[in-house]
């Protein structure tokens, strides 16, 4: 909330020394014996607002506005941002509400990560990743289950009777394959997702170090990578979600690396995108080489 001018009671911009509404001076002297608050840095001046980070009173000269529109004192403005994400407050908010609020912030307002707390425990980061993986794994399993469950009836409808030989055990096997794919997706998908996140964070951390954009440790990279997995909750939307999620996750990862590592765009882009681009080039080059070999040696 913006502080108010003591003369006209209208909000003024932190850092201003004159009220834009009434023109009165905002640098008011503190009177001896007065019960009104005084500035923590300038005890001879009245405190017109409180810092939302440290809670200290600040005069008009010391008040500042941060990137989120909050009020800071001049001392806290120079400190490293350390705002907890909703996920960091899950003990008070509850796990699911904290998870949901963090998803919204990461996916729709990723630039706010530059003010977020940089480091988190490995367990907390992987827990967040696990919750992101569950929707896409469950929905993918249900899609496979539905396809394989419907396939026997579709085969009986489309194929002539003479093509359907035997006692029907083959069709029953197809149904059981659907349950098998469902079990693999639901029970093995999330652990695999965690392993891929750890591997991806490790590779990205190397890339960030190579480009000189990592002043912090691996746990910061893992936290940023885990937060970027929020986009995979779009996998709950059948078919379409899994097509959009990888690209949205990469964009979120660039913002997360830039914000949590307090680095510039260059290293953030390199850390998030260099490994996937190299992987695509290697895979694409391998396939291209294989095709060239096949055509060259074909009879």
Residue 294 confidence (pLDDT): 65
Question: Scanning the structure block, which residue is given the tokens 């029970």?
Answer: 187
Buried b (16+ CB within 10 A) or exposed e, 105-129: bbbeebebbbbbbbebeeebbbbbb
Would the pTM count as exceeding 0.75?
no
Question: Which CATH architecture is the domain 1-79 placed in?
Answer: 2-Layer Sandwich (3.30)
Domain with CATH 3.30.40 in the chain: 1-79
Query: pLDDT means per 10 residues in the chain (299 residues)?
Result: 84 85 88 85 88 84 74 76 86 94 94 86 95 94 88 67 56 81 93 94 89 79 95 90 91 92 86 77 65 62
Cα gap 181→47, rounded to integer Å? 65
Cα gap 137→185, rounded to integer Å? 5
Residue 240 confidence (pLDDT): 85
Are 229 and 129 in contact, with CB atoms under 8 Å apart? Answer: yes
């Amino acid at each position: 909330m913006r502080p108010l001018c003591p003369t006209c009671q209208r909000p003024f911009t932190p850092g201003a020394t004159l009220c834009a509404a009434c023109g009165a001076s905002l640098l008011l002297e503190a009177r001896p014996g007065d019960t009104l608050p005084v500035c923590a840095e300038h005890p001879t001046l009245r405190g017109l607002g409180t810092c939302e980070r440290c809670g200290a009173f600040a005069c008009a000269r010391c008040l500042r506005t941060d990137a989120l529109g909050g009020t800071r004192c001049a001392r806290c403005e120079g400190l490293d941002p350390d705002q907890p994400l909703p996920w960091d407050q899950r003990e008070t908010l509850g796990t699911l509400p904290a998870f949901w609020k963090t998803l919204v912030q990461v996916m729709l307002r990723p630039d706010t990560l530059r003010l977020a707390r940089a480091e988190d425990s490995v367990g907390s980061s992987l827990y967040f990743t696990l919750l992101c993986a569950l929707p896409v794994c469950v929905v993918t399993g249900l899609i496979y289950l539905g396809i394989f469950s419907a396939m026997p009836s579709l085969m009986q409808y489309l194929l002539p009777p003479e093509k359907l030989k035997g006692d029907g055990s083959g069709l029953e096997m197809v149904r059981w394959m659907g349950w098998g794919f469902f079990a693999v997706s639901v029970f093995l998908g999330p652990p695999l997702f965690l392993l891929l996140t750890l591997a991806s964070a490790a590779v990205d951390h190397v890339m960030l170090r190579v480009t000189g954009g990592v002043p912090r440790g691996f746990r910061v990279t893992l936290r940023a990578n885990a937060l970027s997995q929020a986009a995979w909750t779009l996998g709950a939307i059948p078919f379409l979600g899994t097509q959009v999620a990888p690209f949205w996750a990469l964009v979120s990862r660039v913002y997360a690396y830039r914000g949590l590592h307090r680095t510039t765009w260059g290293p953030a882009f390199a850390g998030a995108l260099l490994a996937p681009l190299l992987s695509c080039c290697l895979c694409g080059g391998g396939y291209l080489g294989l095709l060239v070999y096949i055509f060259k040696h074909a009879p």
